[in-house]
Structure 1
Amino acid sequence: MDTRNIQYFMAVFEHLHFTKAAEELGISQPTLSQQIRILEAEFGTPLFDRIGKKVVATEAGKLLRQYGTKMLQAELDAKNAIKELLSGERGTVRLAVLPSDLDFQLVPLFVQFKSKYPGIQLQAFSTIYIQEEVLNHKVDIGIGLQGPADKRLIQIPLGCEPYHLIVHSASELSNRKEITLQELQHHSLVMYPKGYLGRDLVDEVCRNEGFELTTVMETDSATSLLQLVSAGVGAAIQPKGLLRQNPERPDLVAIPITGPIPVRHLELMYCADRFISSSQQQLTNWLIDFFKKGLATKK
């Protein structure tokens, strides 16, 4: 089976439109249609139903999409493995991380890594959909919140990090040695919008205790949250690591939360059936060491 035809099939499956798929592939629409017919003849069954101008994948087409993804990935892995064998310490690593970790934790590590491995190209992406990006082969490695065991993934625990209340040094709360979430019901808070991982962690703890926190302002950027706290708009509930990586922010104070505490458990993940290049392995080792050392210093 020609994997080129699998690529053609995947393009049609994604667009469900032969003309758009042909434009993306850089071939003519009749050529694409012919190649799909060849593939359908090889399988002995239609892969798409053509109802007027509408294209719908058949059950056979849906199955081929599932296995076709693995076939194309296996071909890419083989090419990468041979390329790595011939070129030595070179390669590209795609990394997905949570936005706050990319903004506040990992840039110093990236600088060190680039200095030691100048031939390796690192591509870092900010997203809250870590597991999906890894499983869909959009990235090679992901660092996100620990989830249920998945046999499709290698999941390596990196440690846990309790949340703190971050306030301005001029706040009436700044001298507190500790504080409970219940006490924050009547204080101005700036937080992520509902549905974001950090917000959901806090909301779940509060919900289990029978109350809900309200906000005066919401933003999806950790940098913006710290700026709002610095401006005196409100306090934020965030990992203390945000301040550890921002020593130039003496105007902000982190207060430990007692009682039920929001805690984020981090893990590194990559697909179990993927070829792991030496460049990916090097970065994986660095990330594991970086997070485990960093989280250990916060306890």
Structure 2
Amino acid sequence: MELRQLNYFLKAKELLNFTEAAKALNISQSTLSQQIKQLEDELNVPLFDRIGKRIKLTEAGNLFSEYALQSINKANEGLLLLQDLKNLNTGKITIGVIYSMRILFAKTLIQFASEYPNIKIQVVFGTTKDLLEKLNSHHFDFVLTFHEKSDEAHLKYQTLLKSTMVLVTAKKSSLAHKTTISLNEVAELPLALPFSGYSTIQFFEESFSQKNLAPNICMEINDIPTLFEIVKTGNWHTILSDTSVNDPDVVGIPIDGKNMRRTIMIVSLRDAYEKKAVKKLYEMLTKT
């Protein structure tokens, strides 16, 4: 059963004349008759009584016409929906974001939601490990993370920006005046760091290990705003990317070393269909 056949049937029902219906549809009468006959054969019931050149709906044809009309209307609604989707008038996108990107991402999110208010957006913050696992399970359209390029062929990587790793300390701290700080100095300080599993803590565990340093980690906390509250006391310090630091009572001191700049990337599934809304969000993110 094809939508074309349903359209032919409904036009014949409307005009009750195959010749006039064929003319209105801009097809030959033989084509119309053949298509309606195929439809009747598939349904195994006559839809019209043929009386000479005149036709009349059968009881089955009358009943079927309601469902045929619903099918055509639903198909048209679906077409309109796809057109709206293409024109960013509807749809949904789901994004995974590492915590350190929340400030920059929030700016882009506000801009996107203002320009495309009919697009529903779901944002999930998490660790790199958790977000990539969910991406692989098709839970996200894409994720923003510090993930470095790898041999995972099913993933697509787009570089977004470079981020400098900084020691975050209270503005009232004696360290606040420093323009840079060494990893050796950082290791001597009382640290409150993001919880194990965060990309940042893993990165610094490797960095400290390479220099045979044993950092003084006093706390691990899985919430960045809470880390800021701890740091603002002046008794502890933390390590984050500079993209995370926006509290007026703390400062970020760049950590010395050529490896202290990390790449934030847009990661998506290579073979997944890329929605137009997602592409537009990519554009906004790169501009930000």
TM-score category by the smaller chain?
Answer: 0.5 to 0.7
1:213 paired residue number: 215
CA RMSD of aligned residues (A): 2.1
The answer to whether structure 1 residue 139 and structure 2 residue 140 are counterparts is: yes
2:277 paired residue number: 279
The residue correspondences of 1:1-299 to structure 2 (distance < 5 A) are 83-85=81-83, 88-89=87-88, 90-102=90-102, 104-128=103-127, 129-147=130-148, 148-243=150-245, 246=246, 249-259=247-257, 261-290=259-288
CA contact (8 A) 2:193 2:217 kept: yes
State the 1:204 CA deviation. Answer: 0.7
SS in structure 2 opposite 1:166? strand
Output the CA distance in 2 between the equivalents of 1:190 and 1:155.
31
Output the CA distance in 1 between the equivalents of 2:155 and 2:81.
24
State the 1:222 CA deviation. Answer: 1.2
What letter is aligned with 2:282? Answer: T
Output the CA distance in 1 between the equivalents of 2:244 and 2:198.
17
Output the CA distance in 1 between the equivalents of 2:113 and 2:203.
34
Output the CA distance in 2 between the equivalents of 1:207 and 1:199.
12
2:25 paired residue number: none
Give aligned-pair identity as a percent: 21
Output the CA distance in 1 between the equivalents of 2:214 and 2:278.
42
State the 1:94 CA deviation. Answer: 0.4
State the 1:263 CA deviation. Answer: 3.1
2:34 paired residue number: none
CA contact (8 A) 1:81 1:277 kept: no
Output the CA distance in 1 between the equivalents of 2:184 and 2:114.
47
Output the CA distance in 2 between the equivalents of 1:163 and 1:81.
49
State the 1:199 CA deviation. Answer: 0.5
The C-alpha deviation readout for 1:125-167, integer Å capped at 9, x for no partner, is 1121222222210111111123314221221112321211111
CA contact (8 A) 1:93 1:280 kept: yes
Output the CA distance in 2 between the equivalents of 1:217 and 1:157.
32
Output the CA distance in 1 between the equivalents of 2:192 and 2:275.
42
What letter is aligned with 1:143? Answer: L
State the 1:215 CA deviation. Answer: 1.5
State the 1:195 CA deviation. Answer: 2.9
Output the CA distance in 1 between the equivalents of 2:117 and 2:257.
47
**Larger-gyration structure (1/2):** 2
Extract unaligned runs of 5+ from structure 1: 1-79, 291-299
Output the CA distance in 2 between the equivalents of 1:190 and 1:205.
17
What letter is aligned with 1:110? Answer: L
Output the CA distance in 2 between the equivalents of 1:213 and 1:81.
60
- Cα 1:224–1:238 change in 2 (3 A) is same
- Cα 1:189–1:119 change in 2 (3 A) is same
CA contact (8 A) 1:84 1:91 kept: no
What letter is aligned with 1:276? Answer: E
Moved more, 147-156 or 253-262: 253-262
The C-alpha deviation readout for 1:177-212, integer Å capped at 9, x for no partner, is 221011123221110133321101111111101112
- Total equivalences in the alignment: 206
Output the CA distance in 2 between the equivalents of 1:81 and 1:150.
36
CA contact (8 A) 2:100 2:243 kept: no
Output the CA distance in 2 between the equivalents of 1:162 and 1:207.
19
TM-score, normalised on structure 2? Answer: 0.66
CA contact (8 A) 2:98 2:126 kept: yes
The C-alpha deviation readout for 1:79-98, integer Å capped at 9, x for no partner, is x9984235542110000111
2:73 paired residue number: none
SS in structure 2 opposite 1:284? helix
What letter is aligned with 1:113? Answer: F
